[in-house]
Amino acid sequence: MSIDRRIADDLVANGVSFVTTVPCKQLAGVIEEIDQRDDIFHIPSNKEDEGMGLCAGAWMGGKRPAIIMQNTAIGVTINTLATLIQYYRMPLPMLISYRGELREPVACQVEMAVHTKALLAQLNIPTYHFHWQKDVEEFDNILKYTFMCNKPVAILTDANFWGGYGDQ
Amino acid sequence: MIRSEILKEIAPILRDQLVVCNIGIPSQELHAIDDQPTNFYMLGTMGLASSIGLGLALAQPKPVIVIDGDGSVLTNLGTLPTIANNEANNYILMIIDNGSYGSTGDQPTYTGRKTSLAGMARAAGCENVVEVQDVDTGKALQAAIDGGKMTVMVVKCDSGNAKMPVITMDPVVIRDRFMQAVAS
Ligand SMILES: Cc1ncc(C[n+]2csc(CCOP(=O)(O)OP(=O)(O)O)c2C)c(N)n1
Ligand SMILES: [Mg+2]
């Protein structure tokens, strides 16, 4: 089974029905998969902090949300994570492509990669790093954990997890 | 009229509705004028009231009124295309356009010069956009509620703030009682 489908299946199985996305090349497959699911309302956002606002509202309206974004967006969303998601104590699974890690072809991506885990740690955000395809097996438990504790939770998914960049 | 005078006038209309209110003095004013469990006060995160309200409107059927500000919409302009393309007919975005960053001391925003938020909302694809003067807010808001169509209201008014206490309620309490009101 593809990891894209596995991730979408786990989201649906955990009642996640409202997903916002800002694309990354690594996330193209999973975004396409989510867009096709009848059980998930997919609402693309223009910036990740906007997307977190949408998720906060959807959760207060009774839906379980998730955001899919690139790790560079940690730089965009720190204020929103601290003053909205954490301050009001809201659950938010964040499926994050971890650009700038092993097998990365674009040098500039490394510049945010070196800050990603430190920023998440500074924010006390529970953080998981998927490096091998089998790591996806933990996704279901991470979703349950997120909605148990009402916190933002980061799932960093690197190029190796997604199968690399081929010949690039 | 300044924002607080508008809020006083429309408080009876807002009372029974789900309201998401903009950061800073707008929330302090609404809280002081007529605190309700159906009010969600933003204590931080400038710019996201319209997004929170849209997520809420898309997730459940009750009408949602967002009280936003010109400065906050300008800082999250990406919200307008998202609103336009994800139509929720239970969603009203009411932008109090006082041409200034009121909460921080009335520094002018660009809407007091060449920029039209109504024009930007229309260009983003919002179909039901009305620009009204402060004195007509109540009438226009009631019409938007009765119309049952997604509406963006731009309310042109004077810059200025009423002196109100800061909100000391715990954010989790604000959020929890709001969620109970949403679900009831
Ligand atoms: C990221 C960020 N920058 C600046 C501020 C400071 N700030 C708080 S409220 C506000 C003004 C908001 O203006 P507007 O939305 O027009 O509302 P008004 O008070 O005028 O009704 C500003 C600049 C902030 N809270 N967050
Ligand atoms: Mg203003």
How many domains does chain A divide into?
Answer: 1
Range of the domain at A134: 3-158
Summary mean pLDDT of chain B:
98
When computed from its CA atoms, the radius of gyration of chain A, rounded to whole angstroms, is 15
B41: helix, strand or coil: strand
Can you tell me the distance from the alpha carbon of B169 to that of B171, in angstroms, rounded to the nearest whole number?
A: 6
In a domain, A163, yes or no: no
pLDDT digits (tens, 9 = 90+) for A33-74: 999 999 999 999 999 999 999 999 999 999 999 999 999 999
State pTM to two decimals. 0.98
- The CATH number given to whatever domain includes residue A14 is 3.40.50.970
Domains annotated for chain B, with CATH where assigned, are 3-183 (3.40.50.970)
Question: Quick check: B183 contacting A, CB < 8 Å?
Answer: yes
In a domain, A78, yes or no: yes
B82:A50 CB<8 A: yes
Summary mean pLDDT of chain A:
96
Instruction: Indicate the pLDDT class of residue A165, thresholds 50, 70 and 90.
Output: low
The predicted complex's ipTM stands at 0.98
Residues of B in contact with A52 (CB under 8 A): 48, 51
Which residues contact ligand 1 via a Cβ below 6 A? A 79; B 3, 22-26, 46, 69-72, 96, 98, 100-104
In a domain, A168, yes or no: no
- The string of DSSP letters for B143-176 reads HHHHHTS-EEEEEE--------PPP-S-HHHHHH
In a domain, A38, yes or no: yes
Q: Phi/psi class of residue B99: alpha, beta or left (left: φ > 0; alpha: ψ in -120 to 50)?
A: left
